[in-house]
């Protein structure tokens, strides 16, 4: 299972929306982003992903020891940025399109980069991909709210909803298709959640305080995160 962890708040959204401008302003930013890990610990794979800069434009790449570094391109805009790769060599990340909006993408060797769309708004961001090819992330919807999503090639992007509030964010998915993250409840507090296709989103509660966030899940369904007590 692949994930990118961290208790992301609304502040990260501002960063991501501004990433295109930041990337253009920092042409020297380059290096390897290894997002191929599991809840049992980070493991280095034959395929590594990252960003590389040429002429001031940052593009996502994939690297292996046989073919070296390959430019993954963009969705029609000027930049792309990867977040995770699974054991099948599928890469997820974000790129601006020809209209300048950042959209989540999935890339594979056979079909190249595919736009995953949005939940009705202008922006979407991926966060993780499992070995089944299921992608999770978050997107603006038509009302301007940020909701977690799950995507697969058969059904497309699905809104995971919220715990009763206006926002949900997702951080990890396991190979069983279980998703974890955080969502605002009806009182406006952020609580950790677990989601699956059969039962939907479940509030994991807190350690006694008002905040919790789930950042990792393994294939046994065990969830790790943080909470105020």
Whether residue 86 contacts residue 69, with contact meaning beta carbons closer than 8 Å, is answered with no
Asked whether residue 205 is domain-assigned, the answer is no
**Is 45 domain-assigned?**
yes
Look at residue 52 in the predicted model and tell me its pLDDT: 53
Mean pLDDT of 168-178: 98
| 3-state secondary structure (DSSP) of residue 11 | helix
Q: What mean pLDDT, rounded, does the chain reach?
A: 83
Query: Over 90: is that where the pLDDT of 171 sits?
Result: yes
Q: Is residue 137 part of a domain?
A: yes
Q: Tell me the two tokens of residue 160.
A: 């995971």
| Other Cβ atoms closer than 10 A to 199 | 8
**72 burial level (CB within 10 Å; 0-12, 13-18, 19+):** buried
- How many structural domains is the chain composed of? 1
Give the residue with greater pLDDT, 48 vs 90: 90
Cβ count within 10 A of residue 190: 25
C-beta of residue 49 within 8 angstroms of C-beta of residue 62: yes
8 Å CB contact between 72 and 107:
yes
Question: What range defines the domain where residue 64 resides?
Answer: 10-172
Q: What is the CATH number of the domain that holds 141?
A: 2.120.10.30
Model confidence at 229, pLDDT cuts 50, 70, 90, reads very high
Report, as an integer, the average pLDDT of 158-167: 98
* CA distance from start to end of the chain: 29
Rounded to a whole number of angstroms, the CA Rg of the chain reads 17
User: What is the dihedral sign for C-alpha 209, 212, 217, 221?
Assistant: positive
For residue range 27-75, what is the model confidence (pLDDT) as tens digits?
333 333 333 333 333 233 445 655 555 557 899 999 999 999 999 999 9
* 178-200 pLDDT, tens digit each: 999 999 999 999 999 999 999 99
Residue 192 covered by a domain: no
- Does residue 49 lie within any of the structural domains? yes
């Amino acid at each position: 299972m692949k994930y990118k962890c961290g208790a992301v708040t609304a502040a990260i959204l501002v960063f991501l929306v501004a990433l295109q401008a930041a990337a253009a302003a920092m042409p020297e930013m380059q290096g390897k982003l290894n997002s191929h890990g599991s809840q049992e610990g980070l493991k280095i794979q034959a395929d590594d992903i990252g960003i590389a800069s040429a002429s001031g434009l940052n593009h996502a790449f994939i690297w292996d020891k046989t073919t070296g570094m390959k430019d993954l391109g963009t969705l029609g805009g000027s930049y792309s940025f990867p977040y995770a790769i699974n054991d099948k060599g599928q890469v997820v990340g974000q790129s601006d399109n020809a209209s300048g909006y950042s959209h989540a993408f999935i890339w594979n060797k056979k079909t190249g980069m595919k736009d995953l769309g949005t939940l009705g708004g202008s922006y979407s961001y991926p966060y993780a991909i499992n070995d089944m090819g299921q992608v999770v992330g978050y997107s603006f919807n038509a009302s301007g709210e940020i909701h977690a999503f799950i995507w697969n090639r058969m059904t497309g992007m699905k809104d995971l909803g919220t715990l009763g509030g206006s926002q949900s964010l997702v951080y990890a998915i396991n190979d069983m298709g279980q998703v974890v993250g955080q969502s605002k409840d009806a009182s406006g507090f952020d609580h950790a959640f677990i989601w699956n296709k059969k039962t939907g989103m479940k509030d994991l509660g807190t350690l006694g305080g008002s905040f919790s966030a789930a950042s990792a899940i393994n294939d046994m369904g065990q969830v790790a995160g943080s909470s105020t007590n």
